Amino acid sequence: MAMRAKEVVEIIPTKNIFVGDVNAPVTLVQYGDYESEACAKANEVIDKLLKEFDGKMRFNFRHFPLTKIHPHAMKAAEASLGAAQEGKFWEMHNAIFAHRRRLGAISLREYAKEVGVVSKKFLDDLVDSTYGWQVKSDLMEGLEKGVRDVPAFFINGELFTGKPTYDNLSKGIEAALKQKKKKPVKN
C-alpha cells in the first residue's frame, strides 16, 4: 500500500512543549511518570512555582515511565502526546495526574475528550503506539542525563539534587536567576 505524502504528519515532541514565558531566564525540566505519586505531588509544586516565578521561569515535562512498576505510565505518556498534537498537552497532563489511578486506554480517551481533543483517531493512536517512540526518546535522553528515578528535575540544564519541595525548588530557581544576572549564557 503506497503512503500518500499528506499522511506524513510532523509530530510535536515533548521537548518543544513549554508552559511559561518563552524568554524566561530559567528553564525547569522535569522527567516524570504519570502513575507516580511523587510526580503528582511535584506537579502541584510546579503549578505554584509557575505562579511565583511568572515571567522568570518556563517549564517542560519529559516522559520517564517506570514501566516495571507502573503498567499504565507508557500509554498515559502517549496520550499526553496525542493531546499535544492539538495544543492540549498541559490540559491532558493535569487531567492524567488528577486521575492517575484510572489510566486505561478508554479512560484516557475520556480525559482527552474532556480537555477538548477532537481527533477521532485518538484511541487508535494509543492502541497503535503512534507516539511510543517519542516517549522512549524522552526516556533515553533522561537516562543519558543520569535520570534513574522520578521526579527528576533540571534547572537550566543542571541536575537538581534536593528533594523536589516548593522551598527547595524555589531556592534552586532563585540561585539560577542570580547566576543569569552575573553572566549572560550563550545558547
Query: CA angle, 160 as apex, 159 and 163 as ends, to 5°?
Result: 145
Does pLDDT of 94 surpass 80? yes
Nearest to 92 by CA among 105, 106, 77: 77
Cell of residue 57, nine digits: 521561569
> Residue 180: which pLDDT band, with cuts at 50, 70 and 90?
confident
> Residue 149: which pLDDT band, with cuts at 50, 70 and 90?
very high
pLDDT at 75: 97
**Cβ pair 155, 176 in contact under 8 A:** yes
pLDDT at 8: 53
The beta strands (E) that lie in the chain are given as 19-20, 26-32, 57-63, 152-155, 158-160
Does pLDDT of 6 surpass 50? no
Say if pTM beats, i.e. exceeds, 0.85.
Answer: yes
Classify residue 103 as left (phi > 0), alpha (psi -120 to 50) or beta. alpha
Tell me which H or E stretch contains 113: helix 105-114
pLDDT at 12: 82
The beta strands (E) that lie in 11-164 are given as 19-20, 26-32, 57-63, 152-155, 158-160
Q: For residues 120 and 123, give the distance between their C-alpha atoms in angstroms, rounded to a whole number.
A: 8
Q: What is the pLDDT of residues 110-137, one digit of tens each?
A: 999 999 999 999 999 999 999 999 999 9
The beta strands (E) that lie in 33-139 are given as 57-63
Phi, psi of 59 (to 5 degrees): -125, 140
Nearest to 9 by CA among 116, 123, 113, 125: 125
Mean pLDDT (the chain, rounded)? 92
Name which of 5-14, 15-24, 42-51, 94-103 the model is least confident about: 5-14
Q: For residues 187 and 172, give the distance between their C-alpha atoms in angstroms, rounded to a whole number.
A: 20
pLDDT at 184: 54
Cα torsion 77, 78, 81, 82: sign: negative
Does pLDDT of 5 surpass 90? no
